[in-house]
Amino acid sequence: MQERQRAHILSSYFAPRGYSRMYALGMQLAQLYLSPFDKLIGFIGEAGSGKSALIRGMFPGLELTNDDDGVYVRPLPLLDQGGGGFKFFSPHTYHVDIRFENGFTQMSVLADAIREALENGKRVVVEHFDLVYPHLGINANLLIGAGEQILIARPMLFGPEPDEIKEAVYASIPYRLMAHTAEDLCEACMPKEDLERCMHDDVKHGFVIAFPDYKPDFDIQELETKVNEMIAAKMPITYVDNNHVSIGDIIHRCTGPRIHVSNTGMVENFKLLNHFIYDQLTKRYLLIGCVGDGAEESLRRLDEHRMKQTDFLF
């Protein structure tokens, strides 16, 4: 097991947009990559990238000190270790959000607290690890970046460095936010009966809405036109609760309400594939959309892949 962990360098997964899928992915990553010997776990990613959901999936029961509902743990347990590690009931695993805590505590103090916890045999889960790394002097045992993809790295003496993970995930997160917003706009414009039965998958720089049993009868071009009208209207998108967002005056059910652009006008070059794809393996009809530069080319390539798979399956 330990030898397999040492051989691991970098892996990547699509970053799902719903909380339940993020929790499930976190559980999977913990089983595949987390070792009992890992004491310092670093998470890197912008606000709204799903880091907290991933942490909850990987570390069930861990008390996050920067709760999404605005509940912040005080005093910060990491800074209240009791000196020498002898404080009774001290936790085995600490959590700290460096970006948030740096507003109250100097970075050098946070770095010293992390080192003290590690020396006392504790595990520390650090959000925005890239910010504290220059003051810490040691890399994480496991680095996890959240952008359009989830990157999992096991740094060795020569890297990868946190900034390398940061560069990759920060560059890709706008596509994830745009894709999720476009996905929800499609849902808001499609017939209710299709909305109630649809499921979701992922593609690079886009999304997949899947329909089991039978093909929807709505017009894809008409749906694309309606969505582009909502994009052109530059409607504000705001968090309502853990299951809803508001798109202008519309309250829309959403499983990842924090993973959006703030305005529909920020969705760039939205395109839908002009026909449904039938997935022989899952027996579902797929509606595929892409955003950003090269959206049409991305759809063309996805359709070509589909045609090759169809030839093979038949």
CATH of 2-160, one of 3.40.109, 3.40.50, 1.10.10, 3.30.160: 3.40.50
Cβ atoms 171, 147 nearer than 8 A: yes
How many Å apart are CA 55 and CA 192, to the nearest integer? 34
- Distance separating alpha carbons of residues 145 and 9, to the nearest angstrom: 13
pLDDT digits (tens, 9 = 90+) for 277-312: 998 888 999 999 999 999 999 999 888 877 766 555
Mean pLDDT, all residues of the chain? 88
Distance CA 62, CA 53 (A): 11
Q: What is the pLDDT of residue 1?
A: 47
What is the model's pLDDT at position 5?
58
Query: Bigger pLDDT: 79 or 74?
Result: 79
User: Residue 2: is its pLDDT beyond 60?
Assistant: no
The confidence score (pLDDT) of residue 75 equals: 79
Cα 149 to chain center, whole Å?
Answer: 7
For residue 8, the model assigns a pLDDT of 74
pLDDT at 81 over 80: no
Domain range list for the chain:
2-160, 174-313
Asked if 237 and 176 touch (Cβ cutoff 8 Å), the reply is: no
pLDDT on residue 77: 87
From CA 189, how far away is CA 187, in angstroms rounded? Answer: 5
| 183 closest CA partner among 164, 166, 198, 163 | 198
CA-based nearest residue to 143, from 280, 305, 9: 9
Instruction: Specify the pLDDT at position 41.
Output: 97
Angle at 283 between CA 312 and CA 32, to 5 degrees: 80
Q: In the CATH hierarchy, which top-level class contains the domain 174-313?
A: alpha beta
Say what the pLDDT of residue 67 is: 64
pTM over 0.85: no
243-265 pLDDT, tens digit each: 899 999 999 999 888 889 999 99
> For residues 260, 265, 266 and 271, what is the CA-based torsion angle, rounded to 10 degrees?
90
Residue 314 above 50 pLDDT?
Answer: no
pLDDT at 83: 60
pLDDT at 240: 92
- Give the pLDDT confidence score for residue 236 in this predicted structure: 97
Residue 29 has pLDDT above 60, yes or no: yes
Among candidate residues 10, 97, 93, 8, the one with its CA nearest the CA of residue 49: 97
- For residues 251 and 264, is the Cβ–Cβ distance under 8 A? no
pLDDT band at 6 (very low <50, low <70, confident <90, very high): low
Rounded CA separation 148/64 (Å): 23
Q: How open is the CA angle 154-11-36, to the nearest 5 degrees? A: 40
Under the banding of pLDDT at 50, 70 and 90, the label for residue 64 is confident
**Per-residue pLDDT for 196 more than 90?**
yes
Q: What contacts 221, CB < 8 A, 6 or more positions away?
A: 272, 274
pLDDT of res. 80: 79
d(CA 59, CA 285): 35
Q: Which pLDDT belongs to residue 256?
A: 86
End-to-end alpha carbon distance in the chain:
40
| Mean pLDDT on 184-209 | 93
pLDDT digits (tens, 9 = 90+) for 84-131: 555 656 778 999 999 989 988 999 999 999 999 999 899 999 999 999
Cα dihedral value 45, 51, 55, 57, nearest 10: -130
